[in-house]
């Protein structure tokens, strides 16, 4: 990927620093004039006439574009990214992700380590709590690796918990992942993920941010980060989230951007699943128990249909107790819900769950999201 020229970078940094001019207004100005350099070189009065700026915005434009006091600092940032082997992309220029350019308030500048490829358009974001339960962690791992097997890129925010799990699962499955930061590259957060950042940028995806290198991971930055996560993706999957928090903000951005929203159902008594369950209840998210649910909603056919299993030749392991054999015989290789297992076996749900845990520890069954189970 090639960075924009230094001259264009400095022009855009000046414009972004201008008072009274936000990203949406600057986007319209760039659409009208084509580049930051063109805006800098055009008399402010002419710009004001064409894009109908207010008096305050006009003054901000004059003050910002005419001030070169920070140009040396901007050059240092440009050199820093170049020396890291990264790239600086700009809205409306080559290399800028087209799906991100289509949102209402696209970042004007993107700092990139690694590479954003055309294939990354086929992507799904996975977000959730920083303190997941084992259920949430397992769900994120399963869905992330399943998406990779379907040639999706997994997008997330590099935060602790569900974000880190999703990136890691994608990498371990041999796929690509994009991490979106709420800070600059000199302040990778959390620091324990620096090794993962290096792995991602070394041919496994991209680490991106709209924030200049010295920007710290302040709370005010993360809503902006979240709109980029959803903007890059065809849809957003929420895995364990409270009713207030960053994951729900990302889902909100996805809804506003016309993207699909998915959610893993959770325990109704768990605070960590309050947000996901509420999204499903309000009809704002599709309930998801596996990757196929996401593919179905996106109207994408699986890469390879699973091989049919002849149920008549299924062998029951010899080391099972009577209860274990009864439950194992009720389960096939397709997911089955705990309530159906209880109905088939005549056992209560509590007895089934206890026995299923033993079967899972023995490696014979696997638990899926939503209290579904399948044979291994």
Mean pLDDT by 10 residues, the chain (376 residues): 94 86 90 92 83 75 72 96 97 96 97 97 98 90 94 98 96 96 97 96 97 96 97 98 92 97 93 95 95 95 59 66 86 79 86 91 86 84
Write out pLDDT tens, residues 203-262. Answer: 999 999 999 999 999 999 999 999 999 999 999 999 999 998 889 999 999 999 999 999
Q: Residue 295 has what pLDDT?
A: 96
Please state, in angstroms and rounded to a whole number, the distance separating the CA atoms of residues 226 and 220: 11
Q: Residue 355 has what pLDDT?
A: 92
What are the percentages of helix, strand and coil residues in the chain, rounded to 5?
50, 15, 40
Query: How many separate helices (H) and strands (E) can be counted in the chain?
Result: 17, 12
- Residues facing residue 238 across a β-bridge: 127, 263
Q: Residue 315 has what pLDDT?
A: 65
Q: State the CB neighbour count (10 A cutoff) for residue 213.
A: 18
Helix (H, G, I), strand (E, B) or coil at 99: helix
- Residues facing residue 277 across a β-bridge: none
Please state, in angstroms and rounded to a whole number, the distance separating the CA atoms of residues 31 and 51: 10
Q: Residue 64 has what pLDDT?
A: 64
For 36-46, letters b (16+ CB in 10 Å) and e give bbebbeeebee
Matching residue, tokens 């005419």 = 66
Nearest alpha carbon to residue 262 among 282, 281, 242, 280? 280
Q: Residue 333 has what pLDDT?
A: 65
Q: State the CB neighbour count (10 A cutoff) for residue 48.
A: 17
Q: State the CB neighbour count (10 A cutoff) for residue 299.
A: 6
Give Cα 92 to chain centroid, integer Å. Answer: 22
Q: Residue 219 has what pLDDT?
A: 93
Confirm if 179 and 200 have CB atoms less than 8 A apart. Answer: yes
User: What tokens does 38 get?
Assistant: 């063109």
Q: Residue 311 has what pLDDT?
A: 47
Please state, in angstroms and rounded to a whole number, the distance separating the CA atoms of residues 163 and 56: 41
């Amino acid at each position: 990927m090639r960075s924009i020229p230094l001259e264009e970078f400095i022009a855009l940094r000046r414009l972004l620093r201008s008072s009274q001019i936000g990203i949406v207004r600057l986007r319209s100005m760039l659409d009208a004039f084509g580049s930051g350099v063109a805006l800098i070189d055009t008399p402010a009065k002419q710009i004001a006439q064409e894009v109908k700026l207010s008096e305050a915005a006009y003054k901000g434009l004059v003050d910002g574009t005419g001030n070169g006091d920070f140009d040396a600092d901007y050059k240092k940032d440009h050199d820093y990214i170049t020396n890291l082997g990264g790239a600086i992309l700009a809205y409306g220029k080559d290399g800028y992700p087209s799906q991100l350019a289509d949102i209402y308030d696209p970042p004007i500048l993107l700092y990139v380590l690694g590479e954003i490829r055309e294939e990354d358009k086929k992507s799904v974001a996975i977000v959730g709590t920083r303190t997941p339960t084992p259920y949430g962690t397992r769900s994120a791992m399963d869905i992330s690796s399943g998406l990779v097997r379907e040639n999706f890129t997994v997008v997330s925010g590099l935060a602790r918990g569900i974000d880190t799990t999703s990136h890691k699962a994608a990498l371990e499955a041999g796929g690509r992942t994009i991490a979106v930061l709420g800070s600059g590259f000199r302040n990778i957060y959390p620091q324990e993920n620096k090794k993962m950042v290096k792995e991602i940028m070394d041919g496994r995806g991209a680490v991106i941010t709209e924030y200049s290198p010295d920007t710290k991971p302040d709370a005010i930055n993360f809503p902006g980060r979240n709109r980029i996560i959803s903007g890059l993706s065809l849809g957003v999957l929420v895995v364990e989230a409270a009713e207030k928090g960053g994951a729900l903000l990302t889902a909100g951005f996805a809804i506003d951007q016309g993207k699909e929203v998915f959610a893993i159902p959770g325990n109704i008594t768990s605070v960590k699943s309050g947000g996901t369950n509420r999204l499903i209840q309000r009809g704002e998210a599709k309930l998801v128990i596996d990757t196929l649910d996401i593919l179905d909603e996106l109207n994408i056919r699986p890469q390879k249909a699973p091989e049919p299993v002849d149920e008549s030749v299924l062998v029951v392991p010899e080391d099972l107790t009577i209860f274990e054999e009864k439950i194992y015989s009720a389960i096939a290789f397709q997911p089955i819900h705990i309530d159906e297992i209880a109905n088939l076996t005549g056992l209560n749900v509590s007895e089934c769950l206890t026995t299923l845990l033993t079967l899972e520890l023995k490696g014979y069954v696997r638990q899926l999201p939503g209290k579904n189970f399948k044979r291994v």
